[in-house]
Structure 1
Amino acid sequence: MKYTQFLVLLCCFIGTSQTSITASLIDSKPLKVDSIVAIDNFESLYYITNNTFYKKTKNKTLNYANVQLGNITSANTFNPLKINLFYKDFNTAIILDNRLAEIFKIDFNTKQPYKYVSHISTGYDNTIWIFNQDLLQLELYDYKSNTTRATTMPIQSKVLDLKSNYNYCWLLTENYLYTYTYTGSLLAKVKNEGFTAMGIVNETLILNKGNELYFSQPEQEQFKSIALPQLLIKQFLVTNQTLYIYDKETLTQFHLKIE
């Protein structure tokens, strides 16, 4: 029932409502990194700088680098025990543990059948979601058994972003936003009205359009704009009810409140 309400929300994500979402400033601090990846419930900061992946806690900083694979295209810490790094130029993914030790390497160039991958995201168990650029389809790939557990119908428009949790996967393209179950079944297909990036918290979806953010919760009926001060949004993250906005020089932290 909860997710049915969420689907209704997706189908009417632009509209009017008496519900408003406000963001109260908590903190703002200087930060100079190439890209922030995540901030967890323990305030550990995951980021990329100089093509090195870092995990910074209150007590220490860990890092992982693999210069042989070129630049890090993306990183995903949804499962902190199976962090995945993607190196698109070498068509390779690396799985790290919570100490950033390498536990698995996935070289798609050597797999049969061959897979040319453009995006990856975390799945359940030993799986990752991958977008197969040759077949133009989303696949749930089991990297330990080298098998594909689920596939979707071909996607014709350019992929902008891919996000997932253990139950669902969201694929944002230039034309549409797709929502899939963990088995690859299509739940919703909504026209993209200018969104370029996504974030998720449980089943809450946040989308970026220009310097504005929109989000919704399952009990709402449409996406609502988050009331924010004028900020340059280069990246954004959400952990529970905390929103982080990064402009490449300053990391600003807000508390989200629904009124």
Structure 2
Amino acid sequence: MKKLIYLLVLFYAALLSAQDKKWSLTKRDTIAFHADAYIGFDSFGAQYYIKNNVFIKKTKTQIWQYKNLSFGKISNVDIQNPLNIVLFYEDFNTVILLDNQLNETQRINFSENSIPILATATGLAFGNRLWIYNNLSQQIGLFDFLKSEYKIITTPFNGTIVYYSSDYNTFQWIDEEQNWYECSIFGKVRLVGKVPGFDTVQVLSDSELIFRKGNALYNYALNGNKSTLIEFDKKTFEKFYYKDQILSIFTVEGITNYKITIP
């Protein structure tokens, strides 16, 4: 009996230890530049940011810029495909598509669509389409930008979107009640779960995200409903971005990149 109790104690101690493991961060490099908003980096190492409402792409050897001040503030940028970048100007209900040298390839004014669209969320989807949240109908749809065709894929839903992200196959959002939802490209909507209160957030998968609260950064795992502090050597920061096990911390001095080892 004593041996059994001892083994159980060891088991639970090991379990608790595993649950408390934190991400291990190794500083990789620091890139000095000044920006108003940091967007992120692509698989080729290019950095994307906004300065004076000008969208900028920077590599080690070149800088490209896209400026369209007549459309006002850039509301959102989707860089998941560096060959087809999506700029969203919400105030003008317009999306601009750019190539890898930031040349404009297409301009889409949703106000001109035959089906009334007032877009408040956009992103690149599979098959030459854009995710659209239409605030007029409170529905998610897909806009084929080659055919200029819009297809509604969900029923209307209540709630205000406070954060959204997308990839080719899914559109995810968090509402004002901290409910986390996901919509597939076929229009199937599911409640992923409830998330902690946050100031800013980035969804990593359908079960994990990173969020900022104050000047602290946390990894949140839906399985186990556990938030784990991510420790790094910056007391304050403006924004964070995570991709391919690289965590980028944006401060007034520039970007510091950390290599992440996940336990």
User: In the alignment, which residue of structure 1 is the partner of 2:250?
Assistant: 246
Does residue 193 of structure 2 align to residue 190 of structure 1?
A: yes
Conserved? CA contact 1:149–1:183, under 8 Å:
no
Aligned residue among 200, 208, 211 for 1:208: 211
Moved more, 249-258 or 18-27: 18-27
Task: Give the partner amino acid of 1:231.
Answer: K
Change (3 A) 1:183 1:195: farther
Change (3 A) 1:222 1:26: farther
User: In the alignment, which residue of structure 2 is the partner of 1:79?
Assistant: 81
Does residue 38 of structure 2 align to residue 36 of structure 1?
A: yes
Change (3 A) 1:81 1:195: same
Task: Give the partner amino acid of 1:237.
Answer: Y
1:161-176 matches, cutoff 5 A = 161-175=163-177, 176=179
- Inter-partner Cα distance in structure 2 for 1:124 and 1:232: 37
Does residue 184 of structure 2 align to residue 181 of structure 1?
A: yes
Larger RCO (CA under 8 A, 6+ residues apart): 1
User: In the alignment, which residue of structure 1 is the partner of 2:4?
Assistant: none
- Inter-partner Cα distance in structure 1 for 2:31 and 2:62: 19
The normalised TM-score by structure 1 is 0.83
The normalised TM-score by structure 2 is 0.82
User: In the alignment, which residue of structure 2 is the partner of 1:151?
Assistant: 153
User: In the alignment, which residue of structure 1 is the partner of 2:162?
Assistant: 160
User: In the alignment, which residue of structure 1 is the partner of 2:8?
Assistant: none
Conserved? CA contact 2:192–2:206, under 8 Å:
no
Conserved? CA contact 2:117–2:136, under 8 Å:
yes
- Inter-partner Cα distance in structure 2 for 1:97 and 1:202: 27
Q: CA RMSD in A?
A: 2.4
Aligned residue among 97, 100, 104 for 1:98: 100
Conserved? CA contact 2:97–2:106, under 8 Å:
yes
Shift of 1:119: 1.6
User: In the alignment, which residue of structure 1 is the partner of 2:10?
Assistant: none
- Inter-partner Cα distance in structure 2 for 1:193 and 1:216: 11
Does residue 52 of structure 2 align to residue 25 of structure 1?
A: no
Structure 1: tracts of 5 or more residues without a match:
1-15
Shift of 1:84: 0.5
How many residues are aligned here?
Answer: 242
